[in-house]
Structure 1
């Protein structure tokens, strides 16, 4: 496998532009129909996307074929198979292969060689993710690791939800701490004192609304806050 990795080229490491993201083409190939891939495919179908589900296991393909636009039993480590399935004509592809790291890397390489403009790949470890990134995959996700971090934040703190993005930036849903209540946000100096921005607010029995400098947060309100990860973590711990 190491020798195969050395042979892989990085010439396709082109970050997709906003137009490349799907360009209005709502077709996607999901390669690997395990728990992650099948769940993703079902959600994409629910959102109105045209989903081609592919797996080497005929039982999985049979199990999920009724819920997909198209389904195929195929080995996508063979670039000719991808071409025959027309994957090179689809704007987006997801490599959702589970524990077979070599297959994940080979399929990702084939998609890059086919110049599919928007490629997502599941990684099962940080090392696996680093290999995929170096290969040139546009989006790498570590679902188990990311969910573990998210749940840890919810278990150990006052957060109601936590999402971390690139560059140490996060979005948190939390009950408003006392220091942010009783006055307009513009006067509370939340941004200058704590380095966070309140972007949304929800009062009991009401829906979320955008927050402005004139918004007065009341005790018991749920707020959505953005900022550097450490800053939003510290702010959410205030009482």
Structure 2
């Protein structure tokens, strides 16, 4: 079955993460089947998520009755109940869902989810904690680790690069990072070019290895 960007999505577990995920998918126009075992929670979301059901996500017959096996993509958003998270993920594998995402609360939990067949494992609490820690502890305005050891940072340009065309700055040679976009006050982000000259009030998006972008963001 070919992957389609707008395929319907099953979300199992409607805690804070699952609820936010399901509502955002709905807002983006995706068809969502949301499943949770708590009737009051399901009832409270019924007006916001059209396809929502009270069911046990660890019961394969319940999943079959809801037509989960017809979906291409599913997310196990259960976090705190590790047994339920692992079992629900294994049932999606048994139902031959082709694109399974699962939330993990620890690296060990994540490794287990990978081993039983999850195609993607996310660590929302860990990732958000790391992101906020970078912003609290330094000059960064935002921090996103896009892959292990590689990050994208939003920050202000260090003074040594203000007024110098990026093509002449030797930025990558000195610090191993690349400025990919620039936002001047009152304007939108635009792609950076070799002719781009930075100003003190600008905001830049910088990509590179995590240690390099962190070092760059701390420059005065």
Query: How would you bin the TM-score normalised by the shorter chain?
Result: over 0.9
Structure 1 residue 50: Cα displacement:
0.7
Shift of 1:98: 2.9
How far apart, CA to CA, are the structure 2 residues paired with 1:135 and 1:165?
24
Conserved? CA contact 2:58–2:88, under 8 Å: yes
Query: Are the counterparts in 2 of residues 28 and 93 from structure 1 also a CA contact under 8 Å?
Result: yes
Say how many residue pairs are matched.
220
- TM-score, normalization: structure 2? 0.96
The alpha carbon displacement at 1:81 in A equals 1.8
Give yes or no for the alignment of 1:72 onto 2:53. Answer: yes
Partner of 2:121: 140
Which residue of the partner structure matches residue 197 of structure 2?
A: 216
Q: Which residue matches 1:197?
A: 178
SS at match of 1:49: coil
Please say if residues 29 and 51 of structure 1, whose CA atoms lie closer than 8 Å, have aligned partners that are also in contact. Answer: yes
Given that 1:52 and 1:71 are in contact with CA atoms closer than 8 Å, whether structure 2 keeps it comes out as yes
Deviation at 1:101, TM superposition (A): 0.5
Summarize deviations over 1:174-217 as a string: whole Å, max 9, x none: 00111221111010011111100000000111111000111111
1:151 to 132, 137, 145: 132
**CA RMSD of the aligned region, Å?**
1.4
1:227 and 2:208 correspond: yes
Runs of 4+ in 1 over 3 A off after TM superposition: none
In the alignment, which residue of structure 1 is the partner of 2:109? 128
1:206 aligns with 2:202: no
> What TM-score does the superposition give when structure 1 sets the normalisation length?
0.88
**C-alpha distance in 1 between matches for 2:113 and 2:96:** 15
Deviation at 1:69, TM superposition (A): 2.3
Structure 2 equivalent of residue 48 of structure 1: 29
Partner of 1:237: 218
Q: Deviations over 1:91-126 (max 9, x none)?
A: 211111131111100110111121211111111222
Q: Which runs of 5+ in 1 are unaligned?
A: 1-16
